[in-house]
């Protein structure tokens, strides 16, 4: 490959039944982003999925499409706003009622935004932190209560971000929330280990999808893409593949870790 030539993404690998027989709850799983890609990759790896999303119409469309492709027994969905404790509980109840088991939880829900710190309002800060950090806390708490009671172990995978480590203008609230997700992951892992439950996180740098493109300027996306050593952004399924790894037996000794999914220069 010549200098300056950017290679496209490789083909997405075929499934190998890495999650066969497991039931997974995935939040913010409708649409074209990381959550939607994770739902598809989990199904391709043999899992049963219960999807939550705050966008009820988009969730219905997603569940219907995946059910047609993978079978209605494999896919269920329930509207879920992770800032609402009752809705979080109902999502986990659905997984247990439908399948009698809960094995994997992917906390993907998050909220972004751009504002300079001096111009940021309390409402902007609270909205991002309540969804991104406190929402992950609510879902992790609900998951661990159920997994501890079942005594069968399980896995929690949280979606963090490289902004939990790195600085970017206008992202103080989001970066603080994602750094909190990393710390939550470490502490939850220590508490959960004695119950056979693993808790890890992924930290993507840049995975471009239509929803992100709508809320981010082309100039910023071009700037962020230029920082990637590969010269391109990740495909959402490339992040989902690492989530599959963390949910599978291939990562059986890992807990409390955050994996950077990035080609970004230091």
Q: What is the pLDDT of residue 15?
A: 95
Contact by Cβ (8 Å): 189, 147: no
Record the pTM: 0.91
Query: Nearest Cα to 223, choosing from 114, 109, 108?
Result: 114
**Cα 34 vs. chain centroid, distance in angstroms?**
6
- Is position 241 within any domain? yes
Which tens digit of pLDDT belongs to each residue from 137-163? 999 999 999 999 999 999 999 999 999
Tell me, what's the pLDDT at 130? 98
**DSSP string across 192-251:** HGGGTEEEEEEEES-B--HHHHHHS-HHHHHHHHHTBTTSSPBPHHHHHHHHHHHHSGGG
Residue 122, in any domain of the structure: yes
Exactly one of 108, 174, 181, 198 is catalytic; name it: 174
Q: What is the pLDDT of residue 213?
A: 53
> Is 1 part of a structural domain of the chain?
no
Q: Dump pLDDT digits (tens) for 217-262.
A: 777 777 776 777 777 878 999 999 999 999 999 999 999 999 999 8
* Residue 107 belongs to domain spanning: 23-261
In the chain the first and final C-alpha atoms are separated, in Å, by 23
Report the CATH number that the domain containing residue 225 is assigned in CATH: 3.40.50.720
Is 18 a domain residue?
Answer: no
Reply yes or no on whether 253 is catalytic.
no
Asked if the structure places residue 9 within a domain, the reply is no
Average pLDDT, the chain: 92
Residue 8 lies in a domain: no
Q: Is residue 123 part of a domain?
A: yes
Structural domain total, the chain: 1
**pLDDT tens across 29-52, in order?**
998 899 999 999 999 999 999 999
């Amino acid at each position: 490959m010549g200098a300056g030539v950017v290679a496209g993404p490789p083909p997405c690998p075929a499934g190998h039944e890495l999650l066969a027989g497991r039931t997974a709850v995935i939040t913010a799983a409708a649409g074209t982003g990381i959550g939607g890609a994770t739902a598809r990759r989990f199904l391709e790896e043999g899992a049963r999925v219960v999807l939550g999303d705050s966008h009820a119409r988009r969730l219905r469309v997603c569940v219907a499409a995946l059910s047609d492709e993978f079978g209605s027994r494999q896919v269920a969905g329930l509207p879920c706003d992770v800032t609402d404790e009752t809705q979080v509980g109902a999502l986990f109840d659905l997984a247990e009622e439908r399948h009698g088991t809960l094995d994997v939880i992917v906390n993907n829900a998050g909220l972004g935004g751009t504002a300079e710190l001096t111009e940021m309002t309390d409402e902007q800060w609270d909205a991002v932190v309540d969804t991104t950090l406190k929402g992950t806390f609510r879902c992790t708490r609900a998951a661990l209560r159920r997994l501890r009671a079942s005594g069968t172990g399980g896995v929690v995978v949280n979606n963090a971000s490289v902004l939990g480590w790195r600085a970017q203008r206008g992202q103080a609230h989001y970066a603080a929330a994602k750094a909190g997700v990393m710390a939550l992951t470490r502490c939850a892992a220590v508490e959960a280990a004695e119950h056979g439950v693993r808790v890890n996180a992924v930290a993507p740098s840049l995975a471009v999808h239509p929803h992100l493109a709508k809320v981010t300027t082309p100039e910023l996306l071009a700037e962020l893409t230029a920082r990637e050593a590969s010269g391109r952004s990740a495909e959402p399924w490339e992040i989902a593949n690492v989530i599959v790894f963390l949910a599978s037996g291939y990562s059986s000794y890992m807990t409390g870790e955050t994996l950077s999914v990035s080609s970004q220069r230091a």
